Structure 1
C-alpha cells in the first residue's frame, strides 16, 4: 500500500445513549352531549388556478448549455371581492354567493448553466417571474365553487333632524342625531397548497452546439392550488374530555378531610 492509499480516519463524534422511558395512557372523563360554540377556520373553496406566463431572463456570462432549473412559487396576494349576496334571515349579515378571487405572486427560478470556459464552474442565475390575475367563484358545490359561503356583515348609519323650537316650519341645521353601526368582519384568506409547473425553456436566437446565448426565453404553465378560508362561528354537540390523574396521597388526604 502506498502513502497515497493510506486512509485518514474520520473525525470522532461524541454521542450519548438515550435511556428508554416508560409511558402510559392518561385516564379520561367523558361528558357527552355538551353544546359548544366553536370559532374556527373553515374551508370556503379549494381551487386549482392555471397561470400562463412568458418571460425573457438575461444570462451574464452567456450560456452554452442549461444544466438544471428549479422552481418555487411565492403567493403574495389572495383577496376575495364579493359581488353577489343572499341575506341571512332578517339580519344585516349576508352569504357571498359569487366573488372574484384576485391572486398575485412570483415564480422563483434558480437556473444552473455552463459557460464557454473550459472546465469552468457552473453559473447560477436566480430570477423572479411575476404573475397576477383573477378567477371567478360562484354557487355552492358540487356544481359550484364554494364548499361553504363566506359571510359578510354590512355596516350602517342613520341620521335624525330636528325642527326649530321657535318656528315649526323650518329645520334646525345645527342639531343632528347620528347612529353608526360598524361590523368588523373576518377577512377571507388564502393558503398555498401546491404548484405544478409545465415549461419550455429555449434561446430565442438559434445557436450551434458550442454557441452562446445571452437570453433564456421561458413559457410557463403553472397549475396553482389555493385553499380559501374564513374564521366562522358554529354551534355543535360534542363530548367534553377531561383528563383524570391518579391522585396518590393527595386523594387519601382529601378523603380524610371529608370524614372529619
Structure 2
C-alpha cells in the first residue's frame, strides 16, 4: 500500500527557466558647452482660450429586453469638431496681419453612454446598452481673454486688378488687357483639445413603473460642462515673451498706428 501511495503522489518539480546575466555598464555625464544665443524665436502652440461650455441635451433610449432597475451609467465625450470662426479683428501695427478680437467657437460631438441594468429574468445576467447622444452648438469668445493675453493671428488674402485705356482714343477701356495681382496668405489654423467633461444627469422612465415592474424606455436629461482648449501655432521670441509677426509685402501697405482704424469687421 505504501509503495502504491508513493507512486501516486509525485513531487512537483520546478520548470526550468533560461536567464541571461546582465553585464554592468559604466555611466558618465556628457559635458555641455553653453552657446550664447540672444532671444531665439520658436514656433509652438499657444493657448488662446480655455472656455467651459454648458451643453444641455435630452433624449429617449430604448431598452431591450425591458429593465427593472438601472445599475450603472458610464459616460464619455467624443468631439467631432472644435472650429473657430473669427467675426471681428484689428490690424497689427506695422504689418499686414490682424488680431482676432471676437469669434464664434463651434463645437460638435456625442456623449457615449454605457447603461448596465437588470432585466425581469430570475437570476438573469446584467444587460448592457450603449447609446450615442449627439450634441452641437456654439459659444461667443472675445480676445484677449485677459489684458495682454494672446489672440488668434490671421493674414487676409488680397486681390487687385488694373485696367487700361484704349491706346488710340484714350476715351474708352481696353477689355482685352488687364493686370492682376493675387496674394495668398496661408495661416496656422486654430484648433481645439478636449480637457474635461463634467456630467449632471437625470434618468427616469417616462411612465413610472410599479415595484418589480419593467420599463423599456429611459428618458435622460443631461447637463454637460465641457472644457476645451483653443490653440494656434505662433512664433514666440523667448525671453521677451512676445509674438513675432512676419511682414509681407501685400497690396495694402502696413498702416501706421496714427491712421489705423481701431476695429474692422469681416463681412
User: TM-score band, normalised by the shorter chain?
Assistant: 0.7 to 0.9
Task: Provide the TM-score with structure 2 as the length reference.
Answer: 0.78
Match of 1:236 in 2: 238
The change in CA–CA distance for 1:24 and 1:50 in structure 2 (over 3 A counts) is farther
Q: Aligned partners of 1:70, 1:187: CA distance in 2, in Å?
A: 34
Farther-moved stretch of structure 1 (166-175 vs 107-116): 166-175
Match of 1:83 in 2: 87
Higher strand share: 1
Shift of 1:157: 0.6
Q: Aligned partners of 1:121, 1:13: CA distance in 2, in Å?
A: 43
Q: Aligned partners of 1:162, 1:195: CA distance in 2, in Å?
A: 61
How far does the alpha carbon of each residue in 1:38-71 deviate from its partner, in whole angstroms, 9 at most, with x for none?
1111100111111111111111111111111111
The change in CA–CA distance for 1:24 and 1:186 in structure 2 (over 3 A counts) is same
Match of 1:246 in 2: none
Shift of 1:17: 7.5
Unaligned regions of 5+ residues in structure 2, if any?
Answer: 1-11, 241-267
Equivalenced residues, count: 227
SS of the residue corresponding to residue 219 of structure 2 reads: strand
SS of the residue corresponding to residue 225 of structure 2 reads: strand
Checking the alignment, whether the CA contact within 8 Å between 2:165 and 2:171 is kept in structure 1 is yes
2:51 pairs with 1:44: no
Unaligned regions of 5+ residues in structure 1, if any?
Answer: 1-8, 239-260
Give the alignment partner of residue 58 of structure 1, picking from 56, 62, 67: 62
2:116 pairs with 1:112: yes
Q: How does 1:109-148 map to 2 (within 5 A)?
A: 109-142=113-146, 147-148=149-150
Q: Aligned partners of 1:142, 1:204: CA distance in 2, in Å?
A: 46
Farther-moved stretch of structure 1 (15-24 vs 25-34): 15-24
Match of 1:168 in 2: 170
Q: How does 1:216-227 map to 2 (within 5 A)?
A: 216-227=218-229
Checking the alignment, whether the CA contact within 8 Å between 1:99 and 1:137 is kept in structure 2 is yes
Cα RMSD (Å): 2.4
